[in-house]
Structure 1
Amino acid sequence: MAQIAPAVREPRKYYGEMRLSLADDHLVLDFPYDAAQVAEVRRLKGAKWDKVARVWRAPVSSLNECRDFAVAHEFTIDPEVLLLTLPTQKNSSRSISIHPDGFISLAFAYDRVAVTSVKQIPGITWDKATHAWKAPITSVDEVVRWGETFDVPVDAAVRQEASAVRGQLESTMAASRATDAAIHIPGMLGELLPYQRAGVAYALASQRCFIADEMGLGKSVQAAATIELLASQGEDVFPGAVVCPPNLVVNWQAEWWKFFPDRNIQIVTNRKEFPADYDIVVVGYSNISTWVRQLSSHKSYVFDESHYCKTPTAQRTKVAKRLARSAGAKAPIMLLTGTPVTNRPAEYAAQLDILGQIDKFGGMWGFYRRYCDAFKDKWGQWHLEGHSNLEELNDRLRSTCYIRRTKPEVMKELPPIVHSPVLVAGAPSVMKEYAKAEADIVQYLVERAKEIAREMGLSERSAAVRAKFRAEASQHLVRISVPRRIAAKAKMAAANEWITAHTEEGHKVVVAAHHRDIVDELAREHGGLKIQGGMNVHEVEAAKA
């Protein structure tokens, strides 16, 4: 049986000249196989063999080495390669150190692989001033690992900082998930629930943080308790300021007095009068621009419903940031919001800036690039509405300045039913109408009492007159229903805001109202679903479906 000889691969025949050329973003070395030359090319930094094109490719950063190789072996060098010059390396050092401004500086010569890798460090940005990369101190572990991978020397101070920061982040993360804390607040009426004590302990340790519990879990009392506890420890926290939606100014005063009745709490409800003496002043977002001078340099700040400050260019956001900057470095600043970290994390950037915590996330643009999937479209417009690395963001927030509990998580600590009255300031234009209606009904009741007394020939204070007056209560209720309807209209804006906030978090909301026109208006605002008197059976069943 005849044997078939194995095929022998012929060496590639080379008909062209040995050439060094430029192709897009890299260099190309084309030459026939020579063991010595191949060994030499392998030592060129970044050089790789292209099996398909059967040429060697090297990064432009190896330009000088490639030209030296080509000249030594009498290659033809394309004119564009001869004329090409690399920019002077402005920072030729290789080191990782702590900058005096508090961030970590990473200096190294350009290398495409190293740059691609360093961009994965959370919060990393390029610093034009130092011609080096800078990372927030909270990313020190990732920086050290990167330096070890790319053989960039890491200063001893950075390694020491890594150990300290790691311990602090782990401690703060654990505190954000705590279910109770051993704290006592002198002078407080009532008791905090266990999870609220944990919230106060977290805010006490963080000093500047979000309290982002779900709505109805007592964020305001935790903020007030934190400030009161600091005061009891001798910290200088008064005078302080609470900034909140305008319709919650009165409620904040009532809530603080509910637990700390001796505290001097004053409110600002207009742009004409500002109190002269107070421990805590409460002002609405709509008025802070008017009173920015009076509100500056306070010893503590609370920004309620802080998502009002989610837009960096908004006037109230700018003023809120200015107020926070006017406080001392150790002044407690708390942002209260029921809005979780959603698929639009860009909304948190401006709020982190108010807290003075944005540098821990690489600054505004470091935050946008890392967590908002920021990109520029073909018209040069930046898009920040995306999201990326959300799990990492949640962990970093919790380990620095963020605590959030939901109702399912603390349900066992809550009573079966929670009544949480909310005092709101009615719309000024409607409240004028209410004041007139109230005055009219009071005048009517006074005149009716006098009329009954005259008819009976008795004193207005006599038991018989009072009895007949009470007997007419149903008639009085008809008249009283007028200011009640006006009061409902005055609360409408606050009610709509409350309902919207709950439904946007995915909660089911049932709203009860006394008057048909109020029910109709609420239904129109929130999807049209309603059940009220006068509807037939079919209409009710259709509404329930």
Structure 2
Amino acid sequence: MNGSAVPVGNYFKIEFPYKPKIVEAVKQLPERKFDHNDKSWMVPSQYRDEVERFCKVHKLQFGHKVVQEEKTDFIIPALPELTIQIPLKREPRPYQNTGIAYAIDKQRTFFGDDMGLGKTFQAIASIEALHQLGKASYPCLIVCPSAVKENWKREIENTVHRKAVVLSDGMKHTYQEFYRTGLAQFYIVNYESLKKYFVDHITDPGFDKDGKKKKPTLKNYHFKKKAVDFYKSIIFDESHRLKAVSTMASKIAKGVSAGKETVFLLTGTPLINKPNDLIAQLGIMNRLVEIGGYKHFVEYYCGGPNGASNLKELNYKLNKVCFFRRNKTDEEVKKYLPDKSRQVILCDLNKESRKEYDHAMNDLEAYMKNYKNASEDKIQQSMKGEVMVRIGILKNISARGKLKDAFEFIKDVIDAGQKIVVFASLKEVIAAVQEKFPRSVRLTGAENATQKQASVDAFKTNPNVDVIVLNLKAGGVGVDGLQTVATQICFIEFGWHAAIMDQAEDRLYRMGQNNNVMCTYFLGRDTIDEWNYDLIQKKRSIANAVTGNEDLTEVSIIDSFANLFNQ
């Protein structure tokens, strides 16, 4: 039997696995209603004969519920235990061991853990484990957002006794030598550069029967065979970026992955709520056939209200075939997490900001004339306090130049179903964040007490508000309750003192927060940001953060900056 119709009060409750033909038939029953809560249909009991005939035609049990479909209850089996020793530079947490064990067993799989649980670490360790087991895993290609390329490189070199390089134009003809001479086992590239490194050319798809230009399909993509064959394994970070089958990135990812035994897709975004998003990703791993094939997947899991059906069964099958996920709130995970974590993301400034930054760094007077159109009096006044003026200018340019990477990160957090607290200082940066994320509120010095509280309340209670933007002065202290709804905090701009930054971090890391808090700092590469962050870290090593005179601390910072520029 495919389902059942059972009497519940004055209705028959009809349940069945989603099938388009049965859905069309049930819609013909008189006065039928769909219950969105438990995905069942309700028909008044006065239409008993009609319901019974419907059940007979479509082979549904009439009168009592069928339990045969629930014979397994779709209980997800426990992940396997890791039984081999992997030469790692740091010890995995127990839950990470089981994730690694699952990955080396399946080889083509999702890493679906919640953000902050160490998907990157587990993926790197799994590649090394496969190598130890004699399976081809090196050289390994890592495809990731631009913002985290350096983070991947650092994570690799802190996890395994291997080396990593970020692909660049200068390596187009020499990258294989890096592997042959032992200079690199991991190669890192961002999504936007896939075409440049792997596609030879794209043939013209022509026109359809109506004379409209066709979009290229995978058949139109001709790959650089030497480049594709070079890599034995591939990791796609933030793989939900590949959820649309029609995008160039998804097509290239599928072409590059073809025939690979090891393909890891990392995403903290819940997958099974939007089954259609899985089609392209399962295709990249060549796993779609094991979930029933494209046609079955679309009809059985992507039908029904909101494009989703039979989710419990889909979740069960995915976990059996190629998917695992743990959440920060899981008891077996939570006890191993630190209360608070920090991560630093080094960002390459965009070209315009890089040029502006270098100009201001090398010749402040000329910069003031060319970029700021400053008067001679203003220039002379600024040059008297050159160090502090330059500090402010350089920090501002860097903040604007790293917005693209920060926006990518914020979007990934939101896509993962989480809320995020964003710290910035410049009015134009705060405005840019709000323009990019309209489902946001802000809390700065420009708002009065009533407006500030309204922003906090909206962030805490309104599911349509994902982001709250704070500045250090207005939001660093005296803002309560954010920790009840968020565990992610990021700093596009930051201050000079450890005490100030710790207060800002404590908007989330405080009483009432039972989950790990992730604090992410965005630093412009080769900018004053790196020195600034090192300074904060040094101050944090002092007992109780800042314990001396505030003015003396400021003077010390100015002197240090003066020395920095002199060098």
Which TM-score bucket, shorter chain as reference? Answer: 0.5 to 0.7
Give the one of 54, 58, 77 matched to 1:174.
Answer: 77
Helix, strand or coil at the partner of 2:114: coil
Q: Kindly provide the amino acid, as one letter, of the partner of residue 355 in structure 2.
A: K
Percentage of identical aligned residues: 31
Query: 1:493 Cα shift?
Result: 1.6
* Per-residue CA distance 1:242-266 (angstroms, 9 max, x = gap): 1112232222112211222x42311
C-alpha change, 1:339 and 1:441, in structure 2 (3 Å) is: same
Q: Kindly provide the amino acid, as one letter, of the partner of residue 147 in structure 2.
A: N
Query: 1:210 Cα shift?
Result: 0.3
Q: Which protein is bigger by CA-based radius of gyration?
A: 1
| Conserved? CA contact 1:251–1:424, under 8 Å | no
C-alpha change, 1:373 and 1:272, in structure 2 (3 Å) is: same
Query: 1:496 Cα shift?
Result: 1.7
Q: Distance in 1 between matches of 2:171 and 2:138?
A: 23
Q: Distance in 1 between matches of 2:263 and 2:142?
A: 10
* Per-residue CA distance 1:261-280 (angstroms, 9 max, x = gap): x4231112559846342311
Give the one of 138, 154, 166 matched to 1:267.
Answer: 166
Give the one of 254, 277, 281 matched to 1:347.
Answer: 277
Say yes or no: does 1:205 pair with 2:108.
no
Query: 1:530 Cα shift?
Result: 1.7
Q: How does 1:74-113 map to 2 (within 5 A)?
A: none
Q: Kindly provide the amino acid, as one letter, of the partner of residue 296 in structure 1.
A: V
Give the one of 182, 188, 192 matched to 1:282.
Answer: 188
1:395 maps to 316
Say yes or no: does 1:309 pair with 2:242.
yes
Query: 1:407 Cα shift?
Result: 1.0
Query: 1:318 Cα shift?
Result: 1.2
2:399 maps to 488
RMSD: 3.4
| Conserved? CA contact 2:328–2:334, under 8 Å | yes
2:156 maps to 256
Q: Distance in 1 between matches of 2:104 and 2:384?
A: 54
Q: Kindly provide the amino acid, as one letter, of the partner of residue 228 in structure 2.
A: S
Stretch moving more, 296-305 or 230-239: 230-239
Query: 1:289 Cα shift?
Result: 1.6
C-alpha change, 1:326 and 1:270, in structure 2 (3 Å) is: farther
C-alpha change, 1:473 and 1:314, in structure 2 (3 Å) is: same
| Conserved? CA contact 2:302–2:309, under 8 Å | yes
| Conserved? CA contact 2:150–2:166, under 8 Å | yes
| Conserved? CA contact 2:272–2:314, under 8 Å | no
Q: Distance in 2 between matches of 1:400 and 1:296?
A: 26
| Conserved? CA contact 2:147–2:406, under 8 Å | no
Q: Distance in 2 between matches of 1:314 and 1:406?
A: 30
C-alpha change, 1:175 and 1:431, in structure 2 (3 Å) is: farther
1:127 maps to none
Say yes or no: does 1:362 pair with 2:292.
yes
2:141 maps to 241
Query: 1:521 Cα shift?
Result: 1.9
Say yes or no: does 1:420 pair with 2:323.
no
| Conserved? CA contact 1:213–1:338, under 8 Å | yes
Helix, strand or coil at the partner of 1:422: strand
TM-score normalised by L of structure 2: 0.55
* Per-residue CA distance 1:117-141 (angstroms, 9 max, x = gap): 9xxxxxxxxxxxxxxxxxxxxxxx9
C-alpha change, 1:238 and 1:504, in structure 2 (3 Å) is: closer
Q: Distance in 2 between matches of 1:385 and 1:299?
A: 39
Q: Distance in 2 between matches of 1:487 and 1:175?
A: 46
2:471 maps to none
Q: Distance in 2 between matches of 1:210 and 1:192?
A: 19
Higher relative contact order (CA 8 A, sep 6+): 2
C-alpha change, 1:414 and 1:532, in structure 2 (3 Å) is: same
Work out the number of aligned pairs and report it: 344
Give the one of 253, 262, 265 matched to 1:332.
Answer: 262
Helix, strand or coil at the partner of 1:408: coil
* Per-residue CA distance 1:344-391 (angstroms, 9 max, x = gap): 2111011111111111112111111110017xxxxxxxxx96111000
1:34 maps to none
C-alpha change, 1:507 and 1:528, in structure 2 (3 Å) is: closer
Q: Distance in 1 between matches of 2:298 and 2:391?
A: 55
| Conserved? CA contact 2:272–2:315, under 8 Å | no
Give the one of 530, 534, 537 matched to 2:442.
Answer: 530
Q: Which runs of 5+ in 1 are unaligned?
A: 1-51, 58-111, 118-140, 146-165, 375-383, 445-471
